[in-house]
Amino acid sequence: MKKRAFIVIAILFAIGVAVAGFRGSGCGFEHRGYGDRFYKFKAMFRDLDLSKEQKSKIKESFFSLKESIITIKRDKSAYFKSNITKDGFDRDRFIKEYLEKSKKIAKIKADFYESVFNTLTKEQKDRLIKRVLDKND
Protein backbone atom coordinates (compact mmCIF):
# COMPACT_ATOMS: atom_id res chain seq x y z
CA MET A 1 0.00 0.00 0.00
CA LYS A 2 2.80 2.44 0.91
CA LYS A 3 4.66 1.51 -2.24
CA ARG A 4 1.59 2.20 -4.38
CA ALA A 5 1.03 5.58 -2.70
CA PHE A 6 4.67 6.49 -3.24
CA ILE A 7 4.43 5.57 -6.96
CA VAL A 8 1.25 7.62 -7.38
CA ILE A 9 2.87 10.64 -5.69
CA ALA A 10 6.00 10.25 -7.83
CA ILE A 11 3.93 10.09 -11.02
CA LEU A 12 1.90 13.17 -10.04
CA PHE A 13 5.10 15.04 -9.22
CA ALA A 14 6.63 14.07 -12.58
CA ILE A 15 3.52 15.21 -14.44
CA GLY A 16 3.58 18.52 -12.54
CA VAL A 17 7.22 19.09 -13.41
CA ALA A 18 6.59 18.23 -17.07
CA VAL A 19 3.61 20.57 -17.30
CA ALA A 20 5.54 23.39 -15.61
CA GLY A 21 8.40 22.88 -18.04
CA PHE A 22 6.17 23.30 -21.08
CA ARG A 23 4.29 26.27 -19.64
CA GLY A 24 6.16 29.06 -21.38
CA SER A 25 8.60 29.92 -24.08
CA GLY A 26 11.55 30.63 -21.82
CA CYS A 27 11.64 34.42 -22.14
CA GLY A 28 10.95 35.03 -18.47
CA PHE A 29 7.64 36.81 -18.88
CA GLU A 30 5.18 33.99 -19.60
CA HIS A 31 3.21 34.81 -16.47
CA ARG A 32 2.04 37.98 -18.22
CA GLY A 33 1.08 36.17 -21.40
CA TYR A 34 3.68 37.95 -23.55
CA GLY A 35 5.78 34.90 -24.43
CA ASP A 36 3.32 33.55 -26.99
CA ARG A 37 2.57 37.02 -28.32
CA PHE A 38 6.25 37.68 -28.98
CA TYR A 39 6.72 34.42 -30.85
CA LYS A 40 3.54 34.88 -32.90
CA PHE A 41 4.64 38.42 -33.69
CA LYS A 42 8.15 37.22 -34.51
CA ALA A 43 6.73 34.61 -36.90
CA MET A 44 5.32 37.40 -39.08
CA PHE A 45 8.88 38.52 -39.83
CA ARG A 46 10.37 35.08 -40.39
CA ASP A 47 10.75 35.33 -44.19
CA LEU A 48 11.75 38.99 -44.38
CA ASP A 49 15.53 38.45 -44.08
CA LEU A 50 15.97 40.95 -41.28
CA SER A 51 19.45 42.20 -40.48
CA LYS A 52 20.86 41.82 -36.98
CA GLU A 53 20.28 45.52 -36.36
CA GLN A 54 16.64 45.25 -37.43
CA LYS A 55 16.06 42.20 -35.25
CA SER A 56 17.66 43.92 -32.30
CA LYS A 57 15.63 47.10 -32.80
CA ILE A 58 12.35 45.18 -33.14
CA LYS A 59 13.08 43.05 -30.07
CA GLU A 60 14.00 46.15 -28.05
CA SER A 61 10.78 47.85 -29.17
CA PHE A 62 8.74 44.80 -28.18
CA PHE A 63 10.19 44.63 -24.68
CA SER A 64 9.69 48.37 -24.28
CA LEU A 65 6.04 47.90 -25.32
CA LYS A 66 5.65 45.10 -22.81
CA GLU A 67 7.09 47.14 -19.95
CA SER A 68 4.98 50.19 -20.81
CA ILE A 69 1.76 48.20 -20.84
CA ILE A 70 2.62 46.36 -17.63
CA THR A 71 3.33 49.70 -15.95
CA ILE A 72 -0.08 51.02 -16.97
CA LYS A 73 -1.89 47.86 -15.85
CA ARG A 74 0.21 47.22 -12.73
CA ASP A 75 -1.95 48.33 -9.79
CA LYS A 76 -5.46 47.09 -10.51
CA SER A 77 -6.59 47.26 -6.89
CA ALA A 78 -5.65 50.95 -6.60
CA TYR A 79 -7.49 51.56 -9.85
CA PHE A 80 -10.65 50.02 -8.37
CA LYS A 81 -10.18 51.65 -4.97
CA SER A 82 -9.86 55.11 -6.51
CA ASN A 83 -13.45 54.81 -7.74
CA ILE A 84 -14.97 53.90 -4.39
CA THR A 85 -16.49 56.84 -2.54
CA LYS A 86 -18.44 57.13 0.69
CA ASP A 87 -21.58 57.03 -1.48
CA GLY A 88 -20.56 53.82 -3.26
CA PHE A 89 -18.98 53.05 -6.61
CA ASP A 90 -18.43 55.97 -9.02
CA ARG A 91 -19.37 54.27 -12.28
CA ASP A 92 -18.84 57.29 -14.54
CA ARG A 93 -15.38 58.00 -13.16
CA PHE A 94 -14.45 54.33 -13.55
CA ILE A 95 -15.53 54.34 -17.21
CA LYS A 96 -13.64 57.58 -17.86
CA GLU A 97 -10.43 56.27 -16.25
CA TYR A 98 -10.77 52.90 -17.98
CA LEU A 99 -11.13 54.55 -21.39
CA GLU A 100 -8.14 56.81 -20.70
CA LYS A 101 -6.05 53.78 -19.80
CA SER A 102 -7.22 51.99 -22.95
CA LYS A 103 -6.31 55.02 -25.08
CA LYS A 104 -2.82 55.11 -23.55
CA ILE A 105 -2.32 51.43 -24.34
CA ALA A 106 -3.63 51.90 -27.90
CA LYS A 107 -1.23 54.82 -28.43
CA ILE A 108 1.72 52.80 -27.10
CA LYS A 109 0.83 49.89 -29.42
CA ALA A 110 0.40 52.22 -32.41
CA ASP A 111 3.81 53.78 -31.73
CA PHE A 112 5.30 50.30 -31.47
CA TYR A 113 3.84 49.06 -34.77
CA GLU A 114 4.88 52.27 -36.49
CA SER A 115 8.46 51.97 -35.22
CA VAL A 116 8.64 48.33 -36.30
CA PHE A 117 7.23 49.14 -39.72
CA ASN A 118 9.70 52.01 -40.14
CA THR A 119 12.56 49.64 -39.28
CA LEU A 120 11.87 47.61 -42.43
CA THR A 121 13.22 48.33 -45.90
CA LYS A 122 10.82 49.07 -48.78
CA GLU A 123 11.02 45.48 -50.05
CA GLN A 124 10.43 44.04 -46.58
CA LYS A 125 7.44 46.35 -46.08
CA ASP A 126 5.97 45.22 -49.39
CA ARG A 127 6.36 41.52 -48.50
CA LEU A 128 4.89 42.07 -45.03
CA ILE A 129 1.91 44.01 -46.40
CA LYS A 130 1.28 41.29 -48.99
CA ARG A 131 1.46 38.56 -46.33
CA VAL A 132 -0.90 40.36 -43.94
CA LEU A 133 -3.41 41.20 -46.66
CA ASP A 134 -3.30 37.66 -48.09
CA LYS A 135 -3.88 36.21 -44.63
CA ASN A 136 -6.98 38.36 -44.09
CA ASP A 137 -8.62 37.20 -47.35
Helices 52-73 and 91-119 cross at an angle (nearest 10°) of 180
Nearest-5° Cα angle at 72, 65 to 97: 135
Would the pLDDT of 126 be above 60? Answer: yes
Higher per-residue pLDDT: 65 or 77 = 65
Task: Give domain limits for the chain.
Answer: 30-136
pTM listed for this prediction: 0.61
- Position 80 confidence tier, pLDDT thresholds 50, 70, 90: confident
**Range 94-100 average pLDDT:** 85
Q: Tell me what the pLDDT averaged over the chain comes to.
A: 75
- Position 9 confidence tier, pLDDT thresholds 50, 70, 90: low
Would the pLDDT of 58 be above 80? Answer: yes
